[in-house]
């Protein structure tokens, strides 16, 4: 199996036709989407950092819901905006830690919104007690809480990691591993990562 770097080296520019789209995701990851001509499967390759890539709107929904605990789920805003997904996962409470993302089902769900900016110098640990109390509330009511931000990668994952450290006494490494297992795409920004590493509940 080739490494990603080898694949990228083999992939020459003369094969970049119109069916190739460079995408920079909201998390800064650079992807190359290649449409197949012969009706085969489309391919998506992750590109190494560097090179000026513009933004292409990502229209594919991320409906993957990570089950961290039976009562604690982690996802992107996409999953939080699809009622069938919420119902299938038995979600009763939604913790929205995105900035500027509306809550679509206020009559069917209990919402808590904290508009947190995904910036390394945002003090993510200052929100953990309030977030954890809401998660506790859902659990006490035999509910299921979905924690989401925009991409379900940095802010929401940091909150869930912090919750496990605060309420279950897990070390950062253990909490991070468990959340990563539930939702492999998580990647707290460097500031959040460092704050959580040094977090002493």
Count CB atoms within 10 A of the CB of residue 156.
33
> What is the Cα–Cα distance from 75 to 5, expressed in whole angstroms?
29
SS3 per-residue string spanning 20-76: EEEEECCCCCEEEEECCCCCCCCEEEECCCCCCCCCCCCCCCCCCCEEEECCEEEEC
**Nearest residue to 30 (alpha-carbon basis) of 55, 9, 5, 11:** 55
The domain over range 66-197 is classified in CATH as 3.90.190.10: yes
Sign of the CA dihedral running 27, 48, 181, 66: positive
Query: Could you say which of 20, 53, 89, 149 is catalytic?
Result: 149
pLDDT per residue as tens, the chain (201 positions): 556 555 555 554 444 444 555 666 666 666 666 655 555 555 666 655 444 444 444 557 888 999 999 999 999 999 999 999 999 999 999 999 999 999 999 999 999 999 999 999 999 999 999 999 999 999 999 999 999 999 999 999 999 999 999 999 999 999 999 999 999 999 999 999 999 999 999
149 is catalytic: yes
* Domain range list for the chain: 4-46, 66-197
Strands (DSSP E) contained in the chain are 20-24, 30-34, 43-46, 66-69, 72-75, 93-96, 110-113, 145-148
> What is the Cα–Cα distance from 8 to 5, expressed in whole angstroms?
5
């Amino acid at each position: 199996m080739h490494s990603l770097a080898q694949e990228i080296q083999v992939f020459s520019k003369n094969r970049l036709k119109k069916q190739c789209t460079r995408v920079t995701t909201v998390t800064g990851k650079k992807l190359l989407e290649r449409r197949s001509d012969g009706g085969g499967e489309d391919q998506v390759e992750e590109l190494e950092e560097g090179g000026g890539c513009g933004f292409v709107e990502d229209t594919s929904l991320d409906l993957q819901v990570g089950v961290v605990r039976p009562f604690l789920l982690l996802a992107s805003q996409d999953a939080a905006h699809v009622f069938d997904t919420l119902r299938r996962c038995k979600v009763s409470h939604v913790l929205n830690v995105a900035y500027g993302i509306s809550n679509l089902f206020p009559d069917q769900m209990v919402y808590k919104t904290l508009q947190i900016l995904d910036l390394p110098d945002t003090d993510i640990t200052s929100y953990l007690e309030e977030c954890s109390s809401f998660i506790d509330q859902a659990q006490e009511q035999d509910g299921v809480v979905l924690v989401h931000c925009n991409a379900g990668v940095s802010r929401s994952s940091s909150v869930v990691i912090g919750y496990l450290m605060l309420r279950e006494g897990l070390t950062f490494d253990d909490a991070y591993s468990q959340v990563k297992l539930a939702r492999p795409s998580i990647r707290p920004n460097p500031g959040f990562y460092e704050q959580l590493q040094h977090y002493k509940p």
